[in-house]
Amino acid sequence: MKRIGLLTSGGDCQALNAAMRGVVKGLSANLEELEVYGFHNGYKGLIYGDYRLLTSKDFSGILTKGGTILGSSRQPFKLMQVPDENGLDKVAAMKHTYHKLNLDCLVILGGNGTQKTANLLREEGLNILHLPKTIDNDIYGTDVTFGFQSAIDIATDVIDCIHTTADSHNRIFIVEVMGHKVGWLTLYAGVASGADIILLPEIPYDIKKITDAIDRRKKAGNGFTILAVAEGAISKEDAKLSKKEYKEKLAKRKYPSVSYEVAAEIEKITGAEVRVTVPGHMQRGGSPCPYDRVLCTRLGAAAAKAIIDNDYGYMIGMVDGKTKRVPLKDVAGKLKMVEPDCQMIKEAKRIGISFGD
């Protein structure tokens, strides 16, 4: 008999259900006896013992279903070792729930913060496997995370739609793309949709470089300009500030986000009309694209094989087109950033895309 636990933590994305399905199908097809416990709302369910025994019916028909059948919540890693409002030791409580159910393994699906807590539980002696989920694609040690391609498709579609109205009205449009501290999603969606200017957190921008790029397009007979702007984009001036100084500046900023600040600066310098579109959580919603369905099926099947092998303490990543067991201790807490001089950036610049630098 194998007893495993499943939980999904952090922000949702399109392919969480597909990944869980891959794990359970990979186990049930190869084991005679299996019990699967699902924890509700991420680590919160593990902490407070909120779980249910899942059956094969729970995993039927969910390959194409977005979100997560278990629910999710954000439980910051920095607070995991801080008692809750009632004095409960969260780590001890999670270990208690794990041992109470006599689990052989806990499969955790989530992003960077989730991964850090997964590694903490590994260090506490629990059998842990982590599956890398995030639309940001910023998890170190895997070439791609599930949810990334689905979000690219949505963000690209948004920018595609903006093109026609921008062209019709000869306007400058900014589309703000998710990504937190990294620019993978903005980079891929921007290139895929033919954005003229792409602003990433990893490449601080100079507003004069942006307006110069807009001016060049106008002189070439292009009446409109599309900017794909990462939500974490930062100016060269702000990049020089300390973390504390930058936080203080953000607290006083009169604009709701960096895109509106860039829009205001462009209007001030050029006198042109600028519109901002923020698709927001649309990028995390809907059904997973076919690529993510395949990716999650493969990652889930690889996780199942690790469980059958009784081999724990890994993130199941995708490296050079193959699934791989990557030691959690080697990757937890690390961010995979866009390298400013990477080949893709160079190629994008070669076809005339400006990065504001």
Look at residues 163, 9, 245, 306 and name the one whose alpha carbon lies nearest to residue 314. Answer: 306
CA dihedral (132, 138, 140, 146) in degrees, to 10, reads 30
Helix (H) or strand (E) holding 170: none
| Beta pairing, strands 322-327 & 314-319 | antiparallel
Q: How far is CA 100 from CA 5, 27, 71, 94, in A?
A: 12, 22, 22, 10
Q: What is the DSSP letter of 285?
A: -
Look up tokens 């100084």; give the residue.
245
User: What tokens were used for 256?
Assistant: 């709701």
Q: Of 47, 39, 48, 44, whose CA–CA distance to 7 is shortest?
A: 39
Instruction: Enter the DSSP assignment of 49.
Output: T
Alpha carbon distance 289, 303 (integer Å): 21
Does residue 341 have an active-site annotation?
A: no
**In the chain, what is the straight-line distance between the N-terminal and C-terminal CA atoms, in Å?**
58
List the catalytic residue out of 136, 138, 153, 292. Answer: 136
What is the amino acid identity at position 101? L
Rounded Cα distance between 191 and 348, Å, is 7
Query: How far is it, in rounded angstroms, from Cα 119 to Cα 102?
Result: 20
DSSP state of 283: G
Return the ∠ at Cα 23 (arms to 18 and 28), rounded to 5°. Answer: 120
For residue 350, count other CB atoms closer than 10 A to its CB. Answer: 8
Task: State both tokens at 316.
Answer: 């199941």
Active-site positions read 136
